[in-house]
């Protein structure tokens, strides 16, 4: 092997975690630069169009003062950011009815948070803080428990079936199962829902529907796309209920997929490469098994059980009599050794 190549590989192994952090920072910088280059021209064009529209409106309506128009636009934008339908102010549709409130709490507790609706009163904000302190841990606990109940049926059982049916090793069977599970997840929770939304909402393209599914299940929840906002009240309520169920089921299945990939030996080896072996050595040990010694700051030792002296139910003289002619008692009646 080339000496300099061996030195580079040794340096990468010793500084793997630092290289990972620096690579992630560069990845973020690269993504921000590309996103700015793609989106900034459109933003500038929209700003210019709105400014031209504003100037034209003021020129056509001389009786309207510029300050009054700006004040109206600011209030309308403020209300729209909080989910209040300004353009439909005279209708009976509200953003805080029961179905919308249930949809909002579901997205809030699953940490999706589309941001289309937010509490306006101080009492609502205080209630939401107190409610989330209990609701978010319970939601995460529920999702985790359901995930662990599904793992034997979705992951462990199929892996064992593939291993015995196809004659593969455990590593290969786990890798094949993870690939099949990932493909099934993409079809059931991304492609099919995106196709359904595209058919139900004619103003949405397939890419916009797929984008909404990804934003929802990744719990990013930008809120730029929400189904049913331009539909009737019944359609909006139905889509909100369907979206709530989709979030809960999709998050559970994604957690199962993540746990499946985490159990892959290749994934564990990759984590050990970047984080070191100390995590794998300490994981699963109780605190009383970590013993500090003077030689090493942290040493893992197995506590050996204390040796017990053998206990006898009869005196030594009875077991080994001085007179060899005397009859000796049986061993089962004279000794009682401790169990393992």
CA distance 133 to 136: 6
Instruction: Judge whether residue 67 has pLDDT over 70.
Output: yes
Q: Is the overall model pTM greater than 0.75, yes or no?
A: no
Pick from 50, 113, 121, 51: nearest CA to 84: 121
pLDDT value at residue 331: 43
pLDDT value at residue 40: 80
Domain extents in the chain: 122-280
- Which H/E stretch holds residue 297? none
The answer to whether the CB of 258 falls within 8 A of the CB of 149 is no
Name beta bridge partners: 335.
312
- Which H/E stretch holds residue 336? strand 335-336
CA distance 308 to 332: 20
SS3 291: strand
Summarize pLDDT for 154-184 with one digit per residue, the tens: 988 998 888 888 888 888 888 999 999 999 9
Instruction: Judge whether residue 258 has pLDDT over 50.
Output: yes
Pick from 170, 143, 162, 113: nearest CA to 259: 143
Mean pLDDT of the chain, nearest integer: 74
Helix axes 233-262, 122-151, angle to 10 degrees: 50
Instruction: Judge whether residue 273 has pLDDT over 60.
Output: yes
Choose the CATH number for 122-280 among 1.10.1060.10, 1.10.287.70, 1.10.3720.10, 1.10.3130.10. 1.10.287.70
Q: Which segment, 2-16, 122-136, 229-243, 280-294, is predicted with the most confidence on average?
A: 122-136
Average pLDDT value for residue range 307-331: 46
pLDDT value at residue 87: 55
Instruction: Judge whether residue 257 has pLDDT over 80.
Output: yes
Contacts of 269-277 with CB under 8 Å at 24 or more apart are: 273/13, 273/16, 274/16, 274/17, 274/20, 275/17, 276/17
CA distance 35 to 12: 30
* Residue 285 banded pLDDT, cuts 50, 70, 90: very low
Summarize pLDDT for 75-110 with one digit per residue, the tens: 776 666 555 555 554 444 555 677 778 888 888 888
Q: Which segment, 26-30, 71-75, 118-122, 192-196, is predicted with the most confidence on average?
A: 192-196
pLDDT value at residue 277: 55
Summarize pLDDT for 177-205 with one digit per residue, the tens: 999 999 999 999 999 999 999 888 888 88
Instruction: Judge whether residue 318 has pLDDT over 50.
Output: no
CA distance 313 to 308: 15
pLDDT value at residue 196: 92
Average pLDDT value for residue range 61-69: 79
CA distance 191 to 173: 26
CA distance 248 to 143: 8
SS3 299: strand
pLDDT value at residue 188: 93
Q: Which residues of 205-221 are buried (b: 16+ CB within 10 A; e: fewer)?
A: eeeebbbbbebbbeeeb
pLDDT value at residue 95: 58
- Chain center to CA of 247: 12
CA distance 51 to 74: 14
pLDDT value at residue 184: 93
Query: What is the signed CA dihedral for 87, 90, 92, 94, rounded to 10 degrees?
Result: 40
Instruction: Judge whether residue 230 has pLDDT over 90.
Output: no
- The region of weakest confidence among 70-74, 85-89, 110-114, 138-142 is 85-89
Instruction: Judge whether residue 231 has pLDDT over 50.
Output: yes
- The tokens for 23 are 């690579």
Q: How far is CA 200 from CA 85, 206, 210, in A?
A: 22, 11, 13
Average pLDDT value for residue range 245-263: 90
């Amino acid at each position: 092997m080339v000496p300099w190549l061996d030195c580079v590989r040794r340096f990468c192994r010793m500084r793997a975690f630092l290289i990972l952090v620096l690579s992630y920072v560069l990845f973020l910088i690269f993504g921000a630069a590309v996103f700015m280059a793609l989106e900034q021209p459109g933003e500038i064009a929209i700003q210019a169009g709105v400014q031209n529209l504003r100037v034209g409106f003021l020129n056509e309506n001389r009786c309207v003062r510029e300050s009054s128009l700006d004040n109206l636009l600011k209030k309308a934008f403020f209300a729209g950011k909080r989910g209040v339908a300004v353009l439909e102010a005279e209708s009976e549709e509200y953003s805080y009815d029961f179905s919308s409130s249930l949809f909002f709490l579901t997205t809030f507790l699953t940490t999706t948070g589309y941001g289309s609706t937010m509490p306006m009163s101080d009492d609502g904000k205080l209630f939401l803080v107190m409610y989330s302190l209990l609701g978010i841990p319970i939601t995460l606990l529920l999702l985790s428990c359901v995930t662990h109940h599904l793992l034997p049926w979705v992951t462990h059982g199929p892996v064992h079936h593939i291993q015995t049916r196809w004659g593969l090793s455990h590593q290969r069977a786990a890798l094949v199962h993870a690939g099949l599970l990932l493909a099934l997840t993409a079809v059931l929770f991304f492609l099919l829902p995106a196709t359904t939304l595209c058919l139900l909402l004619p103003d949405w393209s397939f890419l916009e529907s797929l984008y909404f599914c990804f934003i929802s299940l990744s719990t990013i929840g930008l809120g730029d796309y929400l189904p049913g906002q331009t539909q009737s009240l019944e359609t909006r309520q139905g889509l909100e209920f369907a979206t709530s169920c989709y979030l809960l089921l999709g998050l559970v299945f994604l957690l199962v997929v993540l746990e499946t990939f985490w159990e892959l030996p290749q994934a564990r080896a990759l984590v050990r490469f970047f984080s070191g072996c100390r995590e794998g050595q300490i994981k699963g040990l109780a605190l009383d098994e970590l013993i500090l010694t003077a030689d090493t700051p942290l040493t893992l030792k197995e506590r050996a059980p204390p040796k017990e002296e053998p206990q006898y139910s009869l005196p030594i003289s009875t077991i080994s009599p001085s007179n060899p002619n005397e009859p000796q008692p049986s061993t089962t009646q004279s000794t009682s050794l401790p169990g393992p």
